[in-house]
């Protein structure tokens, strides 16, 4: 499989997982859900997605602020909203015993996201 091509692969989930493991056999960041850790695994997945969206929102907010397209009140509301979201994320990470490094997505050749 070439690293510079996107290949669409139709097969069972197990076949797809086997192919992915061939590409990155040392990938330890996969979610390994078992009945004992399903809550933590699901929390990790959901919080990773929320963290990605939060960071995208922050970048968009900074672009809009730098582009002078927001009023002072909008900037204040946006800052307060993002701060509350960040505080809630910290609270949830503590509840599920997760660290920032646990919420990193590996995009293969593109590197880590977050």
Q: Mean of the per-residue pLDDT values for the chain?
A: 76
- The tokens describing 100, both together, are 């920032």
Strands 105-106 and 112-113: antiparallel
Structure confidence at residue 84 (pLDDT): 92
In eight-state DSSP terms, residue 40 is H
Residues 21-76: tens digit of each pLDDT = 666 555 555 556 566 666 777 888 888 888 888 888 888 989 999 999 989 999 99
Task: Give the separation between CA 43 and CA 93, rounded to whole angstroms.
Answer: 9
Of 109 and 47, the structure prediction assigns the larger pLDDT to 47
Task: Give the separation between CA 95 and CA 9, rounded to whole angstroms.
Answer: 37
The reported pTM is 0.59
Residue 17 has pLDDT above 90, yes or no: no
């Amino acid at each position: 499989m070439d690293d510079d091509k996107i290949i669409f692969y139709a097969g069972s989930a197990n076949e797809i997982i086997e192919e992915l493991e061939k590409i990155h056999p040392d990938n330890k960041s996969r979610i390994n859900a078992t009945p004992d850790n399903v809550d933590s695994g699901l929390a990790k997945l959901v919080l990773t997605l929320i963290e990605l969206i939060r960071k995208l929102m922050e970048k968009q907010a900074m672009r809009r602020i730098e582009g002078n397209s927001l009023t002072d009140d909008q900037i204040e509301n946006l800052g307060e909203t993002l701060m509350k979201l960040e505080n809630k994320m910290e609270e949830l990470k503590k509840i599920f015993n997760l660290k920032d490094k646990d919420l990193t997505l590996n995009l293969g050749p593109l590197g880590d996201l977050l």
